[in-house]
A and B are shown apart, each in its own frame.
Chain A
Amino acid sequence: GAVVSQHPSWVICKSGTSVKIECRSLDFQATTMFWYRQFPKQSLMLMATSNEGSKATYEQGVEKDKFLINHASLTLSTLTVTSAHPEDSSFYICSARRASDEQYFGPGTRLTVT
């Protein structure tokens, strides 16, 4: 099957610091990766779409300078939350897709900013 991993699975950081979350497709090459955010008891909201080697496309209302996305290779995308604040606390989920295929979701990363 197609497996997507995320690291770390949970992280606690102090307000004002930056946090990097990794998303890896373990057994396939992902042409496109997606980052979602899930608030407690709410649905997932797409934050951005990234294609390997090009800049990410951010959804309306998502600050690209705050949520830095780097899709360095066909198996790795990173999301960096810069100068994190408590309101950034959330569950971040990535998904990866190979050409003409469904999206495969990672297990998610729970970020808590104190």
Chain B
Amino acid sequence: GEDVEQSLFLSVREGDSSVINCTYTDSSSTYLYWYKQEPGAGLQLLTYIFSNMDMKQDQRLTVLLNKKDKHLSLRIADTQTGDSAIYFCAEMVGANNLFFGTGTRLTVIP
């Protein structure tokens, strides 16, 4: 399978920016996604980026893609306590194959 890696934990203070990083291995991925998982819940799609883009901004969220280094990041501006969750990056390879990272647990300190 594909290797998609993330750091496991991140703590930030409320109001600061959070940056969650992800590295992947398959250069043929078409789309890259960020999902949010709150405790005991399923996955919520936050945003995605097409592989030929290098940046996408959506309100407080900014996605940066460095395709050469196979590095994806999600920046959350003005992080709030409601942003505390596990964040998964995922890469789409082919039409159906979605490979997830290990997830980063974001803790926002009031």
Using Cβ atoms and an 8 Å threshold, which residues of chain A touch B99? 46
Interface SS majority for chain A: strand
B100 pairs with A93, CB closer than 8 A = no
Residue B98, interface by CB 8 Å: yes
B100 pairs with A103, CB closer than 8 A = no
Residue A42, interface by CB 8 Å: yes
- Residue in A44, A46, A107 whose beta carbon sits within 8 Å of that of B41 in the complex: A107
- Interface pairs A-B: 9 shortest CB-CB: A105-B43, A107-B42, A43-B100, A105-B42, A108-B42, A44-B100, A43-B102, A106-B42, A93-B42
Q: Other than the known A43-B4, A43-B88, A108-B41, what 8 A-B pairs have Cβ atoms closer than 8 Å?
A: A6-B42, A41-B103, A43-B100, A44-B43, A102-B45, A105-B43, A107-B41, A108-B40
